[in-house]
């Protein structure tokens, strides 16, 4: 087929698939499953892929799915990835396809990612004889929960022989119709920490006889914020947030013996990831020493930052400029959220793109991980189109 004929056929198939695409997303949305527990979700995906004769379907891990499409001509190998886990959030949306699982919902767009990649596999399989090379469709478990599913997928050898990997992420901060592209850093490394301040409890009316861990905790929190505001170059992105604090007080007149805190650190810098734990502990130790308190401190490295490969981004940008036009493309700034797509980028060049899914006119403005998170479903068609066009462009078909 001529390139113009392929492009026309793609557009026709995308539009024909629109209703099925939306319905698939809604079914997945109604039946969310948490990280490492995607039993029904992966089974649903596996069965759907098995119905496409051109695909070779397997299970790299218990709750992930891999489909391989070998083209009729020699060429490169490209991997496409969708995550598929949900979050422990009670959905507050009043919609026909509201989550049927109490306390669990798709609040980050993974339901849409699944639907788009399933449709992309179905459409791309119809071009098998024209495809130059191979496409691997990775439906990955446990993106939301460290240590994440991507590392397991990589360890299973799924990327062996792959020349590049690509993924899209539905993104509500970006308006529907826009495709967000970033060269280099896109999403930060999400590290976590736990702090326990060990004091001496007692009567609140006699604080001089106690070592008040609540007072010490307040000083520790203030000191930790100073690491960002006064000890870090403001041009070097760094976030340190305390996200939980529990004093354990049992009555109005009781000073507790300890306070537990937890939080997260976000950065793009490998050097800073090595330095921050020691600097934090020095701050904590100094404050505790001043008040005679003890402490425990644990720091856990999360996912690596998502750093898009420049040459890969250049190639897909050129493809999208030629196929969807410059008006749809928007350069986006890095965000401090994390993504375990970074594990793939340690092995092969690739990129993660944002697909605009927000629409203020429709009230679709709630952020990711919010109980009323939703997407403008027009974004699914755009994301599907991007997956297909990028794949064919990477394999030199269009």
Model confidence over 323-379: pLDDT tens digits?
999 999 999 999 999 999 999 999 999 999 999 999 999 999 999 999 999 999 999
Distance set, CA 273 to CA 72, 185, 240, 283, 297 (Å): 46, 15, 12, 16, 16
Residues 387 and 319 in one domain: yes
Residues 384 and 267 in one domain: no
Please identify, among 271, 300, 329, the residue that sits at the C-terminal boundary of a domain.
300
Residues 60 and 183 in one domain: yes
Please identify, among 250, 267, 300, the residue that sits at the C-terminal boundary of a domain.
300
Per the structure, how many domains does the chain have?
2
Query: What's the mean pLDDT in 168-184?
Result: 98
126, 32 in Cβ contact below 8 A?
Answer: no
Q: Which residue has the tokens 């590049």?
A: 164
Residues 123 and 244 in one domain: no
pTM of structure: 0.95
Residue 3, class by beta-carbon neighbours within 10 Å (0-12 exposed, 13-18 middle, 19+ buried)? exposed
Q: Which residue has the tokens 């944002």?
A: 354
Percent of the chain whose pLDDT exceeds 70: 100
pLDDT at 258 over 90: yes
Query: What's the mean pLDDT in 285-290?
Result: 98
pLDDT at 235: 83
Please identify, among 300, 322, 341, the residue that sits at the C-terminal boundary of a domain.
300
Q: What is the dihedral of CA 266, 267, 268, 271, to 10 degrees?
A: -130
pLDDT at 30 over 90: yes
Q: How far is CA 293 from the centre of its chain?
A: 38
Query: What's the mean pLDDT in 209-237?
Result: 93
pLDDT at 3: 87
pLDDT at 193 over 90: yes
Residues 184 and 195 in one domain: no
Enzyme catalytic residues: 85, 143
pLDDT at 231: 84
Q: Which residue has the tokens 């899209």?
A: 168
Residues 270 and 332 in one domain: no
Tell me the H-state helices in the chain. Answer: 3-16, 18-30, 39-50, 110-125, 150-155, 213-230, 270-291, 310-323, 342-345, 378-394
Residues 227 and 338 in one domain: no
pLDDT at 205 over 80: yes
pLDDT at 249 over 80: no
Domain CATH for 102: 3.40.630.10
Q: Which of 70, 335, 22 is nearest to 182 (CA)?
A: 335
* 80-133 pLDDT tens trace: 999 999 999 999 999 999 999 999 999 999 999 999 999 999 999 999 999 999
Residue 1 pLDDT class (50, 70, 90 cuts) = confident
87, 104 in Cβ contact below 8 A?
Answer: yes
Strand order in the sheet with 294-300: 238-246, 258-267, 189-198, 294-300
DSSP letters, 326-356, are GGGEEE---BS---TTHHHHTTS-EEEEEEE
Q: Which of 111, 115, 113 is nearest to 33 (CA)?
A: 111
Domain that holds residue 208: 190-300
pLDDT at 233: 87
Residue 38 pLDDT class (50, 70, 90 cuts) = very high
Residue 69 pLDDT class (50, 70, 90 cuts) = very high
Q: Phi and psi dihedrals of 263, rounded to 5?
A: -175, -170
Residues 61 and 155 in one domain: yes
Q: Output the CA torsion sign for 118, 124, 128, 134.
A: negative
| Average of per-residue pLDDT values in the chain | 97
Domain CATH for 252: 3.30.70.360
Residues 133 and 178 in one domain: yes
pLDDT at 234 over 90: no
Distance set, CA 266 to CA 147, 219, 256 (Å): 16, 22, 31
Residues 169 and 55 in one domain: yes
pLDDT at 320: 97
Residues 92 and 121 in one domain: yes
Say whether 226 sits in a helix, a strand or coil: helix
What's the rounded Cα separation, in Å, for the pair 25 and 8?
25
Distance set, CA 175 to CA 106, 181, 310 (Å): 20, 13, 24
> How many CB atoms lie under 10 A from the CB of residue 273?
18
Residues in the chain, overall count? 398
Residues 328 and 359 in one domain: yes
362, 329 in Cβ contact below 8 A?
Answer: no
Percent of the chain whose pLDDT exceeds 90: 95
Residue 166 pLDDT class (50, 70, 90 cuts) = very high
């Amino acid at each position: 087929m001529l390139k113009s004929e392929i492009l026309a056929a793609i557009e026709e198939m995308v539009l024909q698939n629109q209703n099925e695409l939306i319905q698939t997303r809604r079914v997945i949305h109604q039946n969310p499953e948490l990280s490492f527990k995607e039993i029904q979700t992966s089974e649903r995906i596996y069965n759907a892929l098995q119905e496409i004769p051109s695909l070779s379907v397997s299970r790299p891990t218990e709750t992930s799915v891999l489909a391989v499409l070998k083209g009729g001509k020699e060429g490169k190998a490209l991997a496409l990835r969708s995550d598929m886990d949900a979050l422990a959030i009670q959905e507050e949306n009043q919609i026909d396809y509201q989550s049927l699982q109490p306390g669990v919902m798709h609040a980050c767009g993974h339901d849409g990612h699944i639907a788009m990649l399933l449709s992309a596999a179905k459409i791309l399989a119809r071009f098998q004889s024209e495809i130059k090379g191979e496409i691997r469709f990775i439906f990955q478990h446990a993106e939301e929960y460290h240590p994440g599913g991507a590392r397991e997928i990589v360890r299973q050898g799924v990327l062996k022989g792959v020349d590049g990997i690509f993924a899209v992420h539905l993104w509500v901060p970006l308006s529907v119709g826009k495709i967000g592209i970033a060269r280099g850093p896109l999403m930060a490394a999400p590290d976590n920490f736990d702090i326990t301040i060990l004091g001496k409890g007692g009567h609140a009316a006699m604080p001089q006889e106690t070592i008040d861990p609540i007072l010490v905790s307040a000083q520790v929190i203030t000191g930790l914020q100073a690491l960002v505001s006064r000890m870090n170059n403001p041009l070097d992105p760094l976030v340190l947030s305390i996200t939980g604090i529990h004093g354990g007080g049992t009555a109005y007149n009781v000073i507790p013996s300890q306070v537990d805190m937890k939080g997260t650190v976000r950065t793009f810098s490998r050097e800073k990831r090595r330095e921050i734990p020691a600097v934090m502990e020095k701050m904590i130790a100094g404050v505790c020493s001043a008040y005679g308190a003890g402490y425990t401190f644990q720091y856990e490295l999360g996912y690596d930052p998502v750093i898009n490969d420049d040459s890969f981004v250049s190639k897909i940008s050129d493809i999208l400029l030629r196929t969807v036009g410059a008006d749809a493309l928007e350069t986006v700034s890095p965000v401090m959220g994390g993504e375990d797509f970074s594990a793939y980028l340690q092995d092969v060049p690739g990129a993660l793109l944002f697909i605009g899914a927000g629409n203020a006119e429709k009230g679709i403005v709630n952020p990711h991980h919010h109980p009323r998170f939703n997407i403008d479903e027009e974004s699914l068609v755009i994301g599907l189109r991007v997956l297909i066009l990028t794949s064919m462009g990477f394999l030199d078909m269009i």
